[in-house]
Amino acid sequence: MVTRDQIQSKIDNLNKPKGSLGRLETLALQICEIQQTLTPCLSHPCHILFGGDHGIEKEEVSFSPREITWQQMINYTRGGGGVNMFCRQHGFKLRIVDVGVDHDFPECLISTCDSDTDNKIINRKIAYGTNNFLYGPAMTENEWQRAVVVGADQVDACHKEGCNIISFGEMGIGNTSPSSILMHLLLDIPLEDCVGAGSGLDSDGLRHKYEVLKQAVSNFHQRNQHLDATFNRGELEKVSFCGFEMAAAVGAMLRAAEHRMIILVDGFIMTACMLVAQTINPTVMDFAVFGHCGDESGHKRMLDAMNAQPLLHLGMRLGEGTGAICAYPIVQSAVNMINEMDNFQHAEITKYF
């Protein structure tokens, strides 16, 4: 077993001032611990994009209309999305998974088997979107478990191909709403500080969104006021508010941690999914590298509350997992640093500290 002290010693003996490569050093330490080696590597990076629609969208909490979900899913099969461009640039294999999109895709776009995934949609549809959580749970416990299995199975497929670093993205109009509520409920942050403009709401739209979500939270508490105060946090919240694509991402994160894979975490929605995953298994955070702090209101507060330090802050709020993929070269740099830099002794340089 490789110890933390052994890894730190190797980093400190690279021919550089101690700590001079900053975040790259702590990142290399984390990756070595994940892989249990002093010579880490990155292999077959994969990105899984889960799609699903949300019943709460019908309350006009999103600037974008519902049909954008299925239209963008088709766009991904043509290679025209932001996520496609970044996957091509950084060498990621992209898997597009329909977990709950409110649309029937043409058969020509549907993957027929797990190996036939290039420019195809993997059909794992559980339902045509979640229920409207303003009036009741977004999904049943059975639906939650099915979505979690979808995510886990997709990670298994990537792992079987040799993947040891993975990222996740989402496509689902309205999914900043459940993310805001989960942040509020699981981190005890005032709801108003958690609700943002999503894909572009103006001030009136933002106020309307807040009022809808405030009522949804109030209804949730009223429905569940009989439960014991010791009820496991996260258990009820996840089925009450998550989208199918979010549940699949949670399952994927948990399975990736089981495989000891590096998990690149994207923006607001995927951070909320990691928050939920953490309530199920806290050790999942050991495998998480937070790629990007987006401009969605509340994202920085959620990251701070989770003691997560993102690698980038580029003002992005596209979603799809784009911020995570953009952070990949920094992870590569950390791995190259510990593998390729010479040490003081071999380079015959005086170690002066």
For residue 215, name the pLDDT band (cuts at 50, 70, 90): very high
Residue 191 lies in a domain: yes
Residue 12 lies in a domain: no
Write the DSSP string, 247-306. HHHHHHHHHHHHTT-EEEE-SHHHHHHHHHHHHH-GGGGGGEEE-B--SSTTHHHHHHHT
* Residues 54/175, Cβ–Cβ less than 8 Å: yes
Reply yes or no on whether the pLDDT at 301 is more than 90: yes
Helix or strand (DSSP H, E) at 122: strand 121-123
Catalytic positions, written as ranges: 320
* Residues 51/169, Cβ–Cβ less than 8 Å: no
Upper half-sphere CA count for residue 68 (Cβ side, 13 Å): 15
Q: What is the pTM of this model?
A: 0.95
pLDDT of residue 348: 80
Closest to 46 (Cα-Cα) out of 169, 170, 163, 171: 163
For residue 228, name the pLDDT band (cuts at 50, 70, 90): low
Residue 285 lies in a domain: yes
* Residues 102/128, Cβ–Cβ less than 8 Å: yes
Reply yes or no on whether the pLDDT at 238 is more than 70: yes
pLDDT of residue 293: 93
For residue 25, name the pLDDT band (cuts at 50, 70, 90): very high
Residue 236 lies in a domain: yes
Is residue 160 packed enough to be buried (19+ CB in 10 Å), middle (13-18) or exposed (0-12)? exposed
pLDDT of residue 309: 94
Is residue 345 packed enough to be buried (19+ CB in 10 Å), middle (13-18) or exposed (0-12)? exposed
pLDDT of residue 351: 85
For residue 317, name the pLDDT band (cuts at 50, 70, 90): confident
How many CB atoms sit inside 10 A of residue 331's CB?
Answer: 24
Distance CA 169, CA 321 (A): 4
pLDDT of residue 254: 98
For residue 353, name the pLDDT band (cuts at 50, 70, 90): confident
**Position 212, amino acid:** V
Residue 104 lies in a domain: yes
Coil/strand/helix, residue 126: coil
Residues spanned by the domain of 218: 46-330
What is the mean pLDDT of the segment spanning 172-201?
92
More reliable by pLDDT, 12 or 234: 12
CATH of the domain at 65: 3.40.50.10210
**Backbone phi and psi for residue 281, each to the nearest 5 degrees, phi listed first:** -145, 100
> Dihedral sign, CA of 309, 87, 331, 35?
positive
Closest to 57 (Cα-Cα) out of 68, 72, 45: 68
Reply yes or no on whether the pLDDT at 231 is more than 60: no
Q: What is the DSSP letter of 232?
A: P
Residue 194 contacts by C-beta under 8 Å, 6 or more apart in sequence? 180, 181, 183, 184, 297, 298, 301, 302
pLDDT, mean over the chain: 94
Reply yes or no on whether the pLDDT at 233 is more than 80: no
Residue 149 lies in a domain: yes
pLDDT of residue 349: 86
Residue 132 lies in a domain: yes
What is the mean pLDDT of the segment spanning 127-143?
96
How many CB atoms sit inside 10 A of residue 222's CB?
Answer: 9
Residue 39 lies in a domain: no
pLDDT of residue 226: 76
Number of domains making up the chain: 1
**pLDDT one-digit tens code per residue, 88-121:** 999 999 999 999 999 999 999 998 776 667 789 9
